[in-house]
Structure 1
Amino acid sequence: MNGAAPLPLDLPELVIGEGAEGLVRRTILPSGIRILTEHIPGARSATVGFWLAVGSRDELGAEGGAPSHYGSTHFLEHLLFKGTPRRSALDIAVAFDAVGGEHNAITAKEYTCYYAKVRDRDLSMAVDVLADMVAASTLDPDEFETERGVILEELAMAEDDPGDVAGERLFEAVLGEHPLGRPIGGTPATIRAVGRDAVWEHYRATYSPHDLVVAVAGAVEHDVLVERVEKALRASGWDLSGSASPAARRPTAAAAIVPGAPVTVVRKPLEQVSLMLGMPGLVATDDRRVALSVLSSVLGGGMSSRLFQEVRERRGLAYSVYSFAQGYSDAGLFSLYAGCAPGRERAVSDIMLGELRRIAADGITPDELVRARGQLSGAAALALEDTDTRMSRLGRSELSTGEFVDLDEQVRRLEAVTLDDVRSIAVTLAEGSVSVSAVGPIDEAVFDDVVVAR
């Protein structure tokens, strides 16, 4: 395939191309359901995902006397495994365990995905069960209360992980009151407060045919799958007789972000400080995101990265140190992380910001650019050995970016990144406001003059 393949929402049938990676096809049913497949020759398994473009950012707050939906998206991820009129929770679990399959779900800030990986002979079963879960979950009141306790335990487990706590606080700090700043799983307060009726309302409002994307990669025949998906959803009660356009993708114009608190410290009696520095990043569709991935690779993407070499190898100030970027439809975040001993957090933060600012001032070297291209293209190629990754690529492409990019195009875009491109994005980040999130036995005063004025 040469170049990215657009995924227009008004084209019922689309064949993207057949190359070394396999054949990619998409069908949009009259009901608005989108079905994408990537047939991989020689594969003996398949990964199937049922995607909904609803995430934690889409939950409604309590307004005008209406109940709050905060926490509903994560609640649904749990509850859809708890039974339908045709299957109990045990039936769902047994269906996959009996064939050695894997099944799970992901709640994110802008989407939810229910997925399974099975042998080729068991793909029809996986489609049937996932369709039943998505279309006909009962949200049983007793199961609801049981699962409330399970989710609270999950949140408690995350609260005991200082890295998770620092990450949640960083999103709140960088993105402020924007819905993307809210935690994906909700908070103990929102999970305790949300009622079954509110979650049911959220379910009925956001799980409908025109919201659904089904993606399958591996041993799959497209036409057979399309027929199976329709049959399974009809059997589970969805009316597919009407005509509807697929749900529009989210607007991609960058939102005006007002950051939250510049410094957030959660004091805990730990042996190590989890330290994160963050700043506004790029939206998921920004053309500069490839240059940003190169910058992140050079700065904190591996053992040869500047942060690893300077913070760990030369100074011995941390065991784990890295950078990462997250892009969403209308906002993004770039972050630097290190875990260090109490008393070293200020020195580490100065070094991390100093390395970013040094790239903004002087750029990266040609050797670093070549190494980053090789690291990113190699990692992408290795990831595509797994049908899970290929299925996720289909789902994210359809829901988020509106274009399918194969490995050849990824490599071409990486090769097009220049030294000036990387330096330019580093300047943009370095000139932005910086937020600090830290968990451990420290005081906020340590970071008094680290944060850029807002």
Structure 2
Amino acid sequence: MTISKDSPDVSVIEDRRLSCGVRLLVESNPSVKSAAISWWVPTGTMDDPDGDDADGLAVLCAGMLERGAGGLDSREFNDGLDRLGVIRNISVHDTSTRLSASLRNEELPSTLELLADMVLDPLMPEDGLDPVRSLCLQSIQGLVDQPPELASIRLNHLALPAPFNRSAYGSSQALESATIEDVRTAWRTRCLPEGSIIALAGGIDFDVAADILERRLSEWSGGSKEMPESRPRIGGDEHVEQSGSQVHVEMAFDAPPLCSSDELPFLVATRILGGGSSSRLFDHVREQQGLCYDVHAGYLRRRSGSLCTIGAGTTPERVSRTIESIYEEIDRFGSGGITQDEFDNVMVGLKTRLMMHGESMAARAAAIAADFHDRGTPRTLSQVAREIDELSHRAVDDLVRSHFNSKWASGVARVAVGPSTPFQPRS
């Protein structure tokens, strides 16, 4: 499967607004025997109450969704999905709760029926809350053994505007104090059809899927919900004291927003800077100096704000020099620009990932839902390929020279997890 700007755009994403307000997006591929569902309900951690220790209802709601639905108890409901061979997952994000499922295409009608029950008629039994609560608390306790994950959570808390900076783990205090009525009320009032997205990909008949969902969701009602107003981000530095022989550092800097002309050039730039073992940071900080066992850069793109993130794992005695070396390389990156070879290598990687996503129905369904959520319209593989093919070395080089420097890298926020802080007070 080769995708380029010259490839005929044989795929079509059919788009229908159901009578209840849900947006249905379907990319049919008759050549495959599988199907995937990505159902985004417009409620997430942003809807939890204000306060550092108040978030937790969103993750409890997600955990309770699989505890039975449509008159079936937890065992009966999950047995029903297992008999259909459905591989599924529920995840909580800042603006959405996402149900994903992969299955054989002939099982799509029955699977849609069960997922509709999960969303519209979850059982949420009282005796199911304590086990869900216990699992959530164990996940929080397990973060002590995951310094990179803990650092990332704390970085988002500092660098993103509230209420879009909350952890999908919730807080222990909120999890422990929530009652079953709190959880039921939260889902009933937050789970609305307006803003919901159902994206399907694979061997799917659009009319069959649309008819099932129109019938099942016709009585789903509720007004539209406005996005919460963003509040100023916290910023600054934070040290999470943790004994041990390693320190993990995460830093965040402002980055171009979604849908801007600089979005794709910046993505390529961050891949060159810290996207793998051939990246600038990996070569200069790890390979040449041996300062850390891991260093990377990423591009976090959200409607609430976009960030360039840089992380490194090292030892207490090397952490200060590691941070200095990262800033030095950012300065060199911005002053010297990028080479044609660096650009070409990253472009090959982007095209390879696009090709692999095209062969995964789960990846396609998720990408279609994400595009509609973030951009207001989904893109076919050929449309994305054209955007990649039309990007030039000069466009990325110009962005790098204008954007990357130590002043920019003075940054929005920095977090260190380890026995001592590596940060000097900011002037």
Q: With the length of structure 2 as denominator, give the TM-score of the two structures.
A: 0.90
Aligned residue in 2 for 1:39: 28
2:256 is the counterpart of 1:285: no
2:386 is the counterpart of 1:440: no
2:248 alignment partner AA: S
The CA deviation string for residues 62-91 of structure 1, in whole angstroms up to 9 with x for no partner, is 7xxxxx962111111111000124221112
1:48 alignment partner AA: I
Aligned residue in 1 for 2:283: 309
Equivalent runs, 1:103-122 vs 2, <5 Å: 103-122=88-107
What stretches of structure 1 of length at least 5 have no aligned partner?
Answer: 5-17, 63-67
Aligned residue in 2 for 1:14: none
What stretches of structure 2 of length at least 5 have no aligned partner?
Answer: none
- State whether residues 274 and 340 of structure 1, in contact with CA within 8 Å, keep that contact through their aligned partners in structure 2: yes
2:43 is the counterpart of 1:54: yes
The CA deviation string for residues 353-393 of structure 1, in whole angstroms up to 9 with x for no partner, is 22222222332223222222222222222222111110001
Deviation at 1:335, TM superposition (A): 0.9
Deviation at 1:35, TM superposition (A): 0.8
Secondary structure in 2 matching 1:210? coil
Aligned residue in 2 for 1:335: 309
Aligned residue in 2 for 1:150: 135
The CA deviation string for residues 247-291 of structure 1, in whole angstroms up to 9 with x for no partner, is 58859x9x674433x221222222321111222334333332212
Residues 81 and 428 (structure 1), Cα distance of their counterparts in 2 relative to 1, 3 Å cut: farther
Aligned residue in 1 for 2:344: 370
Deviation at 1:206, TM superposition (A): 2.0
Q: What fraction of aligned residue pairs are identical, expressed as a percent?
A: 24
Residues 429 and 137 (structure 1), Cα distance of their counterparts in 2 relative to 1, 3 Å cut: farther
Deviation at 1:341, TM superposition (A): 2.0
The CA deviation string for residues 268-326 of structure 1, in whole angstroms up to 9 with x for no partner, is 22232111122233433333221210111010111110011112221222222211111
2:68 is the counterpart of 1:92: no
- State whether residues 256 and 306 of structure 2, in contact with CA within 8 Å, keep that contact through their aligned partners in structure 1: yes
- State whether residues 81 and 89 of structure 1, in contact with CA within 8 Å, keep that contact through their aligned partners in structure 2: yes
CA distance in structure 2 between the partners assigned to 1:144 and 1:153 by the alignment: 14
CA distance in structure 1 between the partners assigned to 2:227 and 2:406 by the alignment: 24
2:343 alignment partner AA: L
The CA deviation string for residues 136-195 of structure 1, in whole angstroms up to 9 with x for no partner, is 0132222122211121112212343111111111112223x6212221221111211233
2:204 is the counterpart of 1:230: no
CA distance in structure 2 between the partners assigned to 1:303 and 1:61 by the alignment: 41
Compute the RMSD of aligned alpha carbons.
2.7
Aligned residue in 1 for 2:87: 102
Q: With the length of structure 1 as denominator, give the TM-score of the two structures.
A: 0.85
The CA deviation string for residues 393-426 of structure 1, in whole angstroms up to 9 with x for no partner, is 1111222211222333333333325121233343
Residues 288 and 193 (structure 1), Cα distance of their counterparts in 2 relative to 1, 3 Å cut: farther
- The number of residues matched between the two structures is 418
Deviation at 1:212, TM superposition (A): 2.2
CA distance in structure 1 between the partners assigned to 2:383 and 2:289 by the alignment: 39
Deviation at 1:26, TM superposition (A): 0.9
Bigger shift: residues 392-401 or 278-287: 278-287
CA distance in structure 2 between the partners assigned to 1:185 and 1:166 by the alignment: 13
CA distance in structure 2 between the partners assigned to 1:231 and 1:159 by the alignment: 47
Bigger shift: residues 88-97 or 124-133: 88-97
